[in-house]
Chains A and B, each alone.
Chain A
Amino acid sequence: MSTVSKKMCLVGDFGVGKTSLIRRFVDRQFSDQYLSTVGVKISRKNVELEQAGQPAKKNLQLLIWDLEGHTKFKAIAPSYLQGASGAIVVADMTRPETVENLAERIQLVLSVNPKAAVIVALNKADLVEEEKLAKLAQSVQFTEKQRVIAIYTTSAKTGKDVDEMFQKLAQKMVEVT
């Protein structure tokens, strides 16, 4: 069976952990060292998806576009978002301003790709207490909430919900198309 390729983008403010999430998912690694992404970095990961009613799994090649989070690069982000079947909008739970910018990011993604599947990742969950995690997840507000498939509280450091998130999005990306 041939492998289907899909483009997936990670967007969010700088330093929220986009690159770390990708690295955790693709390379199974994590590093505390912060290296700001310049421009865009493309990673690739093959996943297997369960198919309803079919015993065989579907092979999906994810092309993950890691977009720079700095504001000055915001203007060219739409170009990178083109053709994306899915997007993960990432925020840092320890920085409320990144959570506040989620709505804008989601809006941007959907404006370029109206049919794209969007997941919100509240990252750095390992730095937040359990009690606050749930509260914060519930308090996230954005207008396009109905377009968001799921909200995950993730930790690239511990790997919490990282694989599940990517798997979920990949599944949705295939279903949408």
Chain B
Amino acid sequence: MALSKENQGDMNRAGDQLPDSADSREGSAEQLEQLVELLADLLGADSTQASPLTLTSHSNGSNGKAGGHAAGIDGLKLPPVGAEPAQEHPRTEPVGLPQEDAPVAGHRQGLFQPPKPVAPPFEPPFEPPFEPPFEPPFEPLLEPPFEHPPTEPMGLPQEDAAVAGHRQGLFPPPKPVAPPFEPPFEPPFKPPFEPPFEHPPTEPVGRLEELTAAEGDSEELSPPAQPSEPAPESPPTVPVGRLEELTAVEGDSEELSPPAQPSEPALESPPTEPVGLEVFHTGVGGTSSSTVQPPQSAPAENTLASNDNLEALIAAIEKLPILPPPRPMRQEKAAELPLSQEKENERIAAFDNFPPALLELPQSLGMPAEESRLLPDNLGVANTEFESLPIVREQPQMPVRPSEQSQVPVGSAEEDGGNAVERLQNLIFGSVVSDFERVKKLLLDSELPGVRHLLATIEHKLGNLEHQIYDPNELIKLLLPWIADILSLKVADSKQEVVRAIVPIIDEVIKGRSLEDKAAMSAAIADLIPAAISRQISNSPREIAKAIGPEIGAAIREQIRLDREEIVSTLAPAMGSAIKEQINLERDAMVDALYPVIGSTISKYLAEAIQSINKKIETAFSPQGISRKIRAKIMGVSEGELILSESMPYLVQAVFLIHKGSGLVIAEAQRSDSLRLESEMVAGMLTAIRSFVNDCIVQSGEIAELDQIDYGGAKIVLEVAGYCYLAIVIKGDPPKTLIGKLRDTLGTIVLKYGKAIEAFDGDPDTVPPAVPKLLEALMEIAAKENKAKAPTALLGFGLGILGLMLVWGIAQYRSGIDRRIAQSAATALAEAPELAVYRLTVDAEGGTLKLAGKLPNQELRSQAEKIAKIAAPGVKLENKIIAVDVPPDPVLVAGEVKRLTAVLNKMESVTISTQLNERTVTVGGTVSERLDAEKIAAALKQIPGVQSVVSAVEINPLAISSRIYFDPGSDTLSPAYQETIVKIKEFLNRYPQKSLRIVGHSDTTGTPAQNQELALARASEVRDALVRQGIDARRLIVAGSANPPADVESSQPLLLSRCVRFEVID
């Protein structure tokens, strides 16, 4: 019987609600709970109702009735742990087997009838909060894997052996009896552990023998809420939907609301496999009702009685709401519903074509090899048990807690029914297998290869996960993509912690990386270095300077070593400015620095010049030398200058022929090895300057031309003709010969090409070609002459120096002579008393004596001239003395008075002193005669500036102060006194009226008489001497005294006493 659309929809819903992850487990647990409740109710029903457990339509939202169901649950008898495995139910024909007989198919279809029209009100299933699926550690099942002996297909005697074998291959043997029910355990989340794959225990799923006595209440069965823990420690290999234990159930047309099939299209028959339940087909010939058979063998009457209830339970289970799957895939898969035989075949085929690797996965997970391959061979045991089982529509991945796991025992029909109940019980009320295991087992028992495939897939994936988690390499691969994100999150969350963690080792990291790959590190930080240095310079330039400073020298040395030219070209442009600046700052320091160099250079240059000069001098008497001398004379310069000028090099830089009026260049010639001048600009400015000079400076009517412009060491020589002029730019001092040649060239040009020159309008094509050649020839001549003179340049320079020195010497000699002449004249004038008091200047220059000054009158002026002539005879005199009334200088007057006094005191018997006071001289002292006093006064009065003379001179008679001394005891006149005798004689002759008393003295030695006699003898001796001088003896009176003279004291030497003195008498 094909599923009605409604049932299909339910199936769809069930399939849709099948979760494939933790929430699916929760949903399945919930559903199981509901199922438990339902079963409990069933068990609580009238036991006389030996009808199969009837599962009426139920409400999906029957979770709240769990309590009511609890009583029922308590009444359930679950197979004890370790109980014999439920016998295998007679197999039902698997879905999709082509050999299936029609009655079987119809019977099968009858099992999966569409639900009754009464649809339970939909209640959204309870969706517990999502928790990661929990896979508790694997706990090996206490029961060994159940290996179902191969049995005849239940209820299908006519089933082909091939079908049975095929079924055996599809469905593995069921597991042993499930342990007692345990509430779903929800431990905290742990990483899913994928234990090695093992064959699921062959426990019957959902032992339902206790349900046989229950009324077929249409209890709502809703699958208990599945906890979030996943599944399977060891996924049962119970084929989904093994229902051979339920074969004793009559095939009432119980409503079975098949669970929704999410993924695989439902088969045509049987369509309504309940979720997690084993749907067992009734035997052949039965109605199309589906019943749920208890898995274990039970009393036949209970079995039979519970079959209806079981069917109802199954139907109710099928109607259990399944949580909506998150994946849209299910929707798609749900759309593939309803079941169809073809699709079932496809699924089987797909299962047959299970990837070997995946099939081998269970082995890798630790499953026994014989069981590791999910091949039909491995499933042979189960297949024998579930051959007759219809194939439930493939369920999506639905993890099931391994808390419960039931096995579908294999046995007789009654036993099968009981086994089915047992299995259902186990499924609902808990077994040692997890929910996932239960569901899985149920699914497997239901012979849903698709579901098995899904379970296998789940196992595979879980195995993968476990492998990834526990294998370090895989774990690394797993975590590797997330490490960056984890770090980013960590940094974003707590940056400081990360910094603190990294900072202590960051230097080591850098160092290590640098050692590892220096180039890479260099490249990494290279971009930062300039900016870092710039920043540091701006922040703290001194530190940078301190850091770099000591190494600048080494760096420069290194650069010089590497590339000297680079340093030179870099520093050269600044050297000039630097030197200039330094000169401005510290001139003296620069002088000191350069002096040794400059001095040496000049010395060297002078040495060479002198050498050249010497050479010239050696040829002085050569014809050249003679001609040079003559030329020097004619030019009015010394030969040295001439030699020097002829020896100095010059350079003709350019020659321009310029149109006089417009200033345009007619022709030019310039040196190729020097800076080329702007001919047009030079010519224009020269023309403008010439015009300016001619208009502004030259007097009207005067013919004059600008001949030369000097600038620094160069000059521009202009030679002007009629309509043009030549301008030659020369560095150095050009010789006259060059000027001569310049004129010759210009003359030639004007003579031969005058017209063309006059008509020149700026077009160079109109200039005769010979003109530029003439200019070039001029330059060549200049170059030749310059080269010829080069060796004598230094010689001329030396000679010039010598000539200068000679001239200077002559001048110095002449000036010396003049100085002497002037000095003698000045002395003579100073000696003249009347001129001494006037300031007169006497100079001599070039043989001429020049008198200058001021005198009060002409007479003095004349006198001065006379005195000067006398002092400097033969010298030309130039009297520039001015006769003006000039008061004598008081200082000079006082000096003159003093001088005259000294002169007068030299006179005989004159002893005077003078004093000048406001032009009055007071004379004091003594003179011998009054006449002397008068003369003195008169002399003083003659001094210019002396107005009056006051004489206070005393006239003292003449006295001869001279004395003649004698030796002890001697009266001999010493010849030394002859002069004195003469002076006395002259005195007596001067004063003829005077007489002379000659008094002799002696010392105290001897007797007085002797002394007296000796004294007299001495006086007589002197008298006789005077007489011999011609003095009349009558004028001489002699006397002698035995005592010393009165003015000689006894303490004085005796010599002073042995003398003759003179007294003048009238």
A1-59 residues with Cβ-Cβ distance < 8 A to B are 2-7, 39-40, 42, 44
How many A residues, CB 8 Å from partner?
A: 22
Give A93 to B948 CA distance when docked, in angstroms: 95
Q: Does B680 contact A (CB under 8 A)?
A: yes
**Hey, what's the 0/1 contact readout for B625-653 against A, CB within 8 Å counting as 1?**
00000000000000000000000000000
Q: Are A80 and B688 in contact (CB under 8 A)?
A: yes
Which residues from chain B contact A63 at a C-beta distance below 8 Å?
663-664, 680, 684
B1009-1044 residues with Cβ-Cβ distance < 8 A to A are none
List 14 A–B pairs whose Cβ atoms lie within 8 Å, in order of A's numbering.
A3-B764, A5-B763, A42-B663, A42-B685, A44-B681, A63-B663, A65-B684, A79-B692, A79-B695, A80-B688, A80-B691, A83-B661, A83-B662, A85-B761
9 closest cross-chain pairs (CB), A and B: A83-B662, A79-B691, A83-B661, A5-B762, A76-B695, A42-B684, A82-B661, A7-B662, A40-B688
Q: Does A146 contact B (CB under 8 A)?
A: no
Which residues from chain A contact B696 at a C-beta distance below 8 Å?
76
Q: Are A39 and B688 in contact (CB under 8 A)?
A: yes
Give A6 to B664 CA distance when docked, in angstroms: 8
Give A84 to B659 CA distance when docked, in angstroms: 12
Chain B: which residue is nearest A83 at the CB level? B662
Which residues from chain A contact B659 at a C-beta distance below 8 Å?
83
Q: Are A177 and B680 in contact (CB under 8 A)?
A: no
Which residues from chain B contact A40 at a C-beta distance below 8 Å?
688, 692
Q: Does B485 contact A (CB under 8 A)?
A: no
Q: Are B662 and A82 in contact (CB under 8 A)?
A: yes
Q: Which one, B684, B691, B694, B764, contacts A4 given CB within 8 A?
A: B764
Q: Does B765 contact A (CB under 8 A)?
A: yes
Q: Are A76 and B764 in contact (CB under 8 A)?
A: no
Q: Which one, A2, A5, A80, contacts B680 given CB within 8 A?
A: A5
Which residues from chain A contact B688 at a C-beta distance below 8 Å?
39-40, 42, 65, 80
Q: Does A107 contact B (CB under 8 A)?
A: no
A149-177 residues with Cβ-Cβ distance < 8 A to B are 177
Chain B: which residue is nearest A173 at the CB level? B762
Which residues from chain B contact A94 at a C-beta distance below 8 Å?
none
Give A82 to B663 CA distance when docked, in angstroms: 9
Give A79 to B695 CA distance when docked, in angstroms: 8
Which residues from chain B contact A44 at a C-beta distance below 8 Å?
680-681
Q: Are A42 and B762 in contact (CB under 8 A)?
A: no
Which residues from chain B contact A3 at a C-beta distance below 8 Å?
764
Chain B: which residue is nearest A40 at the CB level? B688
Which residues from chain A contact B680 at a C-beta distance below 8 Å?
5, 44, 61, 63
Q: Does B665 contact A (CB under 8 A)?
A: yes
Q: Is the interface of A mostly helix, strand, loop or mixed?
A: mixed
Which residues from chain A contact B691 at a C-beta distance below 8 Å?
76, 79-80, 82
Give A40 to B684 CA distance when docked, in angstroms: 10
B669-698 residues with Cβ-Cβ distance < 8 A to A are 680-681, 684-685, 688, 691-692, 694-696
Give A6 to B663 CA distance when docked, in angstroms: 10
**Nearest-CB distance from A40 to chain B (Å)?**
5
Which residues from chain B contact A65 at a C-beta distance below 8 Å?
684, 688
**Nearest-CB distance from B727 to chain A (Å)?**
15
Q: Are B664 and A5 in contact (CB under 8 A)?
A: yes
**Nearest-CB distance from A175 to chain B (Å)?**
12
Q: Are A4 and B762 in contact (CB under 8 A)?
A: yes
Counting chain B residues whose Cβ lies within 8 A of the other chain, the interface size class is 20 to 34
Give A84 to B663 CA distance when docked, in angstroms: 9
Chain A: which residue is nearest B664 at the CB level? A5
Which residues from chain B contact A5 at a C-beta distance below 8 Å?
664-665, 680, 762-764
**Nearest-CB distance from B323 to chain A (Å)?**
89
Looking at B661, B664, B680, B762, which has the most chain A CB atoms within 10 Å of its CB?
A: B762
Which residues from chain A contact B763 at a C-beta distance below 8 Å?
2, 4-5, 177
Looking at B661, B662, B681, B694, which has the most chain A CB atoms within 10 Å of its CB?
A: B662
Given contacts A6-B762, A7-B762, A44-B681, contact A83 B664 (CB under 8 A): yes
**Nearest-CB distance from A33 to chain B (Å)?**
24
Q: Are B662 and A39 in contact (CB under 8 A)?
A: no
Q: Are B663 and A7 in contact (CB under 8 A)?
A: yes
Given contacts A5-B680, A39-B692, contact A83 B764 (CB under 8 A): no
Q: Which one, B681, B684, B685, B694, contacts A79 given CB within 8 A?
A: B694
Chain A: which residue is nearest B682 at the CB level? A42
Looking at A2, A42, A65, A85, which has the most chain B CB atoms within 10 Å of its CB?
A: A42
Which residues from chain B contact A6 at a C-beta distance below 8 Å?
664, 761-762
Given contacts A7-B662, A39-B692, A83-B661, contact A2 B764 (CB under 8 A): yes
Looking at A4, A40, A80, A83, which has the most chain B CB atoms within 10 Å of its CB?
A: A83
Which residues from chain A contact B764 at a C-beta distance below 8 Å?
2-5
**Nearest-CB distance from B295 to chain A (Å)?**
111
Which residues from chain A contact B695 at a C-beta distance below 8 Å?
75-76, 79
**Nearest-CB distance from B691 to chain A (Å)?**
3
Q: Are A85 and B762 in contact (CB under 8 A)?
A: yes
Give A87 to B764 CA distance when docked, in angstroms: 22
Which residues from chain A contact B662 at a C-beta distance below 8 Å?
7, 82-85
Which residues from chain B contact A2 at a C-beta distance below 8 Å?
763-765
| Besides A5-B763, A42-B688, A83-B664, 19 other A-B contacts (C-beta < 8 A) | A2-B763, A5-B665, A6-B762, A39-B688, A40-B692, A42-B663, A42-B684, A63-B664, A63-B684, A76-B696, A80-B688, A80-B691, A82-B661, A82-B662, A83-B659, A83-B661, A84-B662, A177-B762, A177-B763
Which residues from chain A contact B761 at a C-beta distance below 8 Å?
6, 85, 177
Give A177 to B694 CA distance when docked, in angstroms: 28
Chain A: which residue is nearest B696 at the CB level? A76
Which residues from chain B contact A61 at a C-beta distance below 8 Å?
680, 762
Give A90 to B694 CA distance when docked, in angstroms: 27
Which residues from chain B contact A80 at a C-beta distance below 8 Å?
688, 691
Give A80 to B665 CA distance when docked, in angstroms: 16
Give A61 to B695 CA distance when docked, in angstroms: 28
Which residues from chain B contact A4 at a C-beta distance below 8 Å?
762-764
Give A61 to B411 CA distance when docked, in angstroms: 129
Give A80 to B688 CA distance when docked, in angstroms: 6
Give A40 to B691 CA distance when docked, in angstroms: 11
Give A76 to B700 CA distance when docked, in angstroms: 13
Give A72 to B910 CA distance when docked, in angstroms: 88
**Nearest-CB distance from A72 to chain B (Å)?**
11
Give A40 to B696 CA distance when docked, in angstroms: 14
Chain A: which residue is nearest B685 at the CB level? A42
Give A44 to B696 CA distance when docked, in angstroms: 26
A96-139 residues with Cβ-Cβ distance < 8 A to B are none
Which residues from chain A contact B663 at a C-beta distance below 8 Å?
7, 42, 63, 83
Q: Are B681 and A42 in contact (CB under 8 A)?
A: yes
Give A174 to B764 CA distance when docked, in angstroms: 14
Q: Which one, A7, A76, A82, contacts B692 given CB within 8 A?
A: A76
B735-775 residues with Cβ-Cβ distance < 8 A to A are 761-765
Give A35 to B769 CA distance when docked, in angstroms: 43
**Nearest-CB distance from B200 to chain A (Å)?**
100
Q: Which one, A7, A75, A76, contacts B664 given CB within 8 A?
A: A7
**Nearest-CB distance from A18 to chain B (Å)?**
15
**Nearest-CB distance from A47 to chain B (Å)?**
13
Which residues from chain B contact A79 at a C-beta distance below 8 Å?
691-692, 694-695
**Nearest-CB distance from B879 to chain A (Å)?**
54
Which residues from chain B contact A85 at a C-beta distance below 8 Å?
662, 761-762
Give A136 to B178 CA distance when docked, in angstroms: 126
**Nearest-CB distance from A1 to chain B (Å)?**
9
**Nearest-CB distance from A118 to chain B (Å)?**
16
**Nearest-CB distance from B280 to chain A (Å)?**
110
Chain B: which residue is nearest A7 at the CB level? B662
Chain B: which residue is nearest A176 at the CB level? B761
Chain B: which residue is nearest A64 at the CB level? B684
Give A61 to B761 CA distance when docked, in angstroms: 12
Chain B: which residue is nearest A177 at the CB level? B761
Which residues from chain A contact B664 at a C-beta distance below 8 Å?
5-7, 63, 83
Give A171 to B691 CA distance when docked, in angstroms: 28
**Nearest-CB distance from B772 to chain A (Å)?**
12
Give A65 to B659 CA distance when docked, in angstroms: 15
